[in-house]
Amino acid sequence: MRPSTGRHRRTRNLSVAAAVAVSAGACGVYLGLSNDGAQAATTVTVSSAAQLESAVANASAGTTIQVRGGTYYPTATLKSTANGTSSARITLKAYGSEKVKIDGSKLPDGSWLAGIYGDYWTVQSITWQNSPAQGFVATSSTGGIFKNLVTANNGDSGFTLRGDGTTDNLVQDLDSYGNYDAANHGQNADGIAVKFGSGTGNKITGARLYNNADDGLDLWQFSSPVTIEHSWAFGNGENRWNDAGFEGNGNGFKLGGGGVSVAHSVNNNAAWDNTLHGFTENSNTGAILLNRNTAYANIETGFYFATGKARLARNLAVSNAKGTAKLGSATVSAANNWDSGVTTPSFRSTDATTAYGARGSDGSLPETTFLTTGSTAIGSTMD
């Protein structure tokens, strides 16, 4: 963690004739003023946990918080109720290409590492790890952009969207792994959870959700459609913590539960080596759309949609221990590899090593031939 190289300076009697820049070293502030004197933007660069806590708590529309490289140990949940706007977002991000880890190991038991209760936040290029409870939680967020994040080894779900009014959020290129809730014997810790709420326009893309105690992705009691695409869920539900009372589930993509009936959209994803199903409605009776997904080597079925009105097309299921798909009478199934007359293409590789590799410089999933077939008609393209 870098020490501060300067003192915070207060500004008085600033001219309103032009924008004013105030420099204060590593914890400096850029304060932009419009010609009528209204504050336009503030950039705060932080290099200590105390500065980080203060910057998040005091953010307002137009604030950018840049975090210098290092590992930070806050002593309280990083929390804000501030709203940005579509034209003046609140941004929390790593400084340049520096590597930032925010570590919750000094938080009180039961604390979240971060709790955002505002709209139009951008949170980018930060690792959130070792929280006693949830890693990163956004509640009733509108217009959030959560990009190139890691949520790892937290005491409950790694990344969570929750609450009514959860609208038009983008979760892009998230890695979420190793999350485990010891108090509940692994029953609740998902890679990503979109739970207990509603709101349209939410999208998850480019996620890797793996080795979590419970599910890779969980949409429990979220009553509005969510789009999930180009994401991978694998190795979830295995008892890696030697918990004698372990209760983790281990679905790759759990697409409902808690009495909801909602048509989520699930396109071009892959689920493998999970301890339950690759993809499951979890009693969601809505017309879930699943197109060009791959389920491989899951312990239960590849696709479990036994009670709802799901629509499945051009999906691929191979080597799942309890069968390719279990579908109910109201499910529509067409052009999947378990349907009559559809050929199952061969995988180029079943070695998952490259799927664990480094992401691209833009945060994109690593290039891999794992579970690819070359088919333009069926199964995930794994990108």
> What SS3 class is residue 262?
coil
**Number of domains comprising the chain:** 1
Condensed to tens digits (0 to 9), the pLDDT of residues 79-104 reads: 999 999 999 999 999 999 999 999 99
Banded model confidence at residue 9, pLDDT cuts 50, 70, 90: very low
Token pair in block for residue 306 = 């036994």
For residue 3, pLDDT over 90 is answered with no
Residue 124: exposure state from Cβ atoms within 10 A (0-12, 13-18, ≥19): middle
Measure Cα distances from 28 to 3, 10, 31, 80, 258 in Å: 13, 11, 10, 21, 48
Q: Which domain holds residue 258?
A: 134-356
d(CA 317, CA 309): 19
Give the span between the Cα atoms of 151 and 101, in whole angstroms. Answer: 10
* Residue 223 near residue 199, CB atoms below 8 Å: no
Asked if residue 79 belongs to a domain, the reply is no
Catalytic residue among 147, 195, 254, 309: 254
Determine the Cα angle at 147 with ends 144 and 151, to 5°: 105
User: What is the rounded average pLDDT for all residues in the chain?
Assistant: 91
In this structure, is residue 369 part of a structural domain? no
- CA–CA separation, 210 and 178 (whole Å): 7
Distance between CA atoms of 138 and 56, rounded to whole angstroms? Answer: 14
Q: Are 31 and 42 in contact (CB under 8 A)?
A: yes
Residue 41: the pLDDT is 80
Asked, for residue 51, whether it belongs to a domain, the answer is no
| Residue type present at position 81 | T
Q: Tokens representing 242? A: 């030697």
Domain assignment present for residue 290? The answer is yes
**DSSP states along 18-80:** S---B--GGG-EEEEE-TTS-EEEEEEEE-SHHHHHHHHHT--TTEEEEE-SEEE--SS-EEE
Q: Is the residue at 85 inside a domain?
A: no
> Would 316 be classed as within a structural domain?
yes
pLDDT > 70: what percent of the chain? 90
254 given a catalytic annotation: yes
Q: How many CB atoms lie within 10 A of CB 306?
A: 17
pTM: 0.90
Question: For residue 35, is pLDDT > 90?
Answer: no
**Is residue 332 in some structural domain?**
yes
Nearest to 136 by CA among 207, 190, 55, 205: 190
Q: What is the CATH number of the domain that holds 217?
A: 2.160.20.10
Give the pLDDT of residue 40. Answer: 55
**202: in domain:** yes
Q: What proportion of the chain, given as a percentage, has pLDDT over 90?
A: 89
Residue 289 pLDDT exceeds 80 = yes
CB atoms near residue 312 (< 10 Å) = 25
User: In Å, how far from its chain's centre is CA 282?
Assistant: 20
Give 157-178 pLDDT, tens digit per residue: 999 999 999 999 999 999 999 9
Q: In whole angstroms, what is the distance from residue 295 CA to residue 346 CA?
A: 14
What is the mean predicted confidence (pLDDT) over 118-136? Answer: 98
